[in-house]
Chain A
């Protein structure tokens, strides 16, 4: 905003005043035409919660209120340099449920401060918005209009009312007063706007410090991570118990039996041994699949680069792979990244109907950026299966994020970011997959 830079020059002064006057008037209109209806609507919707209607009515009203508040936050920063962070809690994954949605909104203290702001801003916005323009307009009137009109009509200005009763004192007083008021208005305009911004900040900024919010976030993601890894361990235990372990028991039984039969029925013994070999093969296959699910060997051997290339090769459609990583991330991050890409590729193979897919992985600005796209049908929904949300949670444990754009008709593009550092470069053999 250059209106704050060119200070000093009279044109700059008038220009800045003009801007603040117009902006103030915008605030006046909003404070009356938007704040009043929104406040009334939110009170009415809240009152209607007991009979049910409010459950559906209140969230859109509160969200509209947030939009208004966010607009004020943006203007406060842009017009007066008063930064107001957005205080709202993130939307929970289950917000499709109206009651959960309502609970999410009502338990957020920022909602209540928004409502309070909506009410208080009705007079405050009116006053602070009107003053920059009004001071100057009234001051100019005192100089240019009042003295002359008073000659032909019953008219006055400020304390000199009607002006005709005050004689020369009134005329001089009106002109001097008008000049003073105009000068004050020109100077005060931007400051009054800033005062409004500061008022906004008092109600619209977060009450908790950033640190407290961070602690809250970490607590949530940590408990999710702990839950997820506990569930993962249970699954592995069950797979081992019902799979490989059971097969090894059957195997040793068969071998024991074959040992007994060897002497008097070698043929039956041989049959049992063939069976035993087959059972060992199945057990090995199951173990291999299990290991792949825990930590794929190719990831351990070749890192994210080789792991993702191997994944791409296993897909039944052509995948363009672009990977530019000068080193390897920490093992847990690498694993999270690998499984995120694996899940996206599995979704493409299962649901997208795509003819082609592409992967772009690189490291920039201290984060691993992974983009997976396809030319399929689109319409991918984060909440359709647990898969995408699971990945989102897994990434969140490392402060990672995931953004899905998937309009009906495609294309689908998933962008994931994981903050991490890369270890020192390590030479890998060229993989020749291009």
Chain B
């Protein structure tokens, strides 16, 4: 799988390259600023990009903007954005084109290597990987509203994991219950939230995120 990495701190950039190569990713280019990221993404068209939000030359949200720009040119280009802090504002912008292949994680999550690699693969496959912090913020924001109040604690737990972008199988594994039980929970969630039932893990995630994001 071909990856482009954008990270301005050499220490972290080398760490990411080493980590991803250890899991059989092919790092086609690693850049350290916004303009070269945009160029790398449009010329290499990688299977997935791992991008730091804050990059030179402005040290603001250069990386995020380059990634959004590239996705305008190459719709659905899978991008996993890493940051020292997560903002709902940025999550919205990333998810706004609702074409999938988006990840948005805190940099700390890299330390859980297998989870991180799983997230990269999920995003490369057109899936979603949203940081638990973002999901928690989304849920708190809507927590007062009626539809969410009617969910059981277990259903809320499943909703949270679903919003992070995990598949039924992954949620089942994490909660130590069967996949069948999970699909029962997800059906309940969809009817309680008044959402159209959607086929496939990824489309379901997008439906849930669209609901939480409004």
Are chains A and B native binding partners rather than an unrelated pairing? yes
Which A residues lie at the B interface, using CB under 8 A? 277, 280-281, 284-285, 288, 291-292, 297-298, 300-302, 306, 309-310, 313-317, 429, 431-433
Kindly specify which of B2-10, B84-92, B120-128, B168-176 makes contact with the partner chain.
Answer: B84-92
CB B130 to nearest CB in A, in angstroms, measures 14
Annotate B38-60 by CB proximity to A: 1 below 8 A, 0 otherwise. Answer: 00000000000000011000011
Q: Kindly state the separation between the CA atoms of A58 and B188 in the bound complex, as whole angstroms.
A: 70
Let me know if A277 and B112 touch, CB within 8 A: yes
Known contacts A309-B89, A431-B89, A433-B92; is-contact A301 B53 (Cβ 8 Å): yes
Let me know if B140 and A316 touch, CB within 8 A: yes
Let me know if A298 and B92 touch, CB within 8 A: no
Let me know if B61 and A317 touch, CB within 8 A: no
- Residues from 50 to 101 in B contacting A, C-beta threshold 8 Å: 53-54, 59-61, 65, 68, 83-85, 87-90, 92-93, 96
Annotate B132-162 by CB proximity to A: 1 below 8 A, 0 otherwise. Answer: 0000010011011000000000000000000
Residue B111 CB within 8 A of the other chain: yes
Let me know if A313 and B144 touch, CB within 8 A: no
Size bracket, chain B contacts: 20 to 34
Residues of chain A contacted by B21 (CB below 8 angstroms)? none
16 contacts between A and B (CB under 8 A): A277-B112, A280-B108, A284-B106, A288-B84, A298-B87, A300-B59, A301-B61, A310-B87, A310-B88, A313-B141, A314-B88, A316-B140, A316-B144, A429-B68, A431-B89, A431-B92
User: Which residue of A288, A302, A316, A317 is within 8 Å of B89 (Cβ)?
Assistant: A302
Let me know if B89 and A306 touch, CB within 8 A: yes
CB A272 to nearest CB in B, in angstroms, measures 15
The 5 A-B pairs of least Cβ separation, nearest first, read A301-B60, A310-B89, A301-B61, A313-B88, A284-B108
Residues of chain A contacted by B144 (CB below 8 angstroms)? 316-317
Q: Kindly state the separation between the CA atoms of A284 and B111 in the bound complex, as whole angstroms.
A: 12
Q: Kindly state the separation between the CA atoms of A301 and B59 in the bound complex, as whole angstroms.
A: 8
Residues of chain B contacted by A314 (CB below 8 angstroms)? 88, 137, 141
User: Which residue of B54, B108, B111, B112 is within 8 Å of A301 (Cβ)?
Assistant: B54
Q: Kindly state the separation between the CA atoms of A431 and B144 in the bound complex, as whole angstroms.
A: 25
Residues of chain B contacted by A281 (CB below 8 angstroms)? 108, 111
Known contacts A310-B88, A316-B143, A317-B144; is-contact A432 B93 (Cβ 8 Å): yes
Residues of chain A contacted by B54 (CB below 8 angstroms)? 297, 301
Q: Kindly state the separation between the CA atoms of A316 and B106 in the bound complex, as whole angstroms.
A: 22
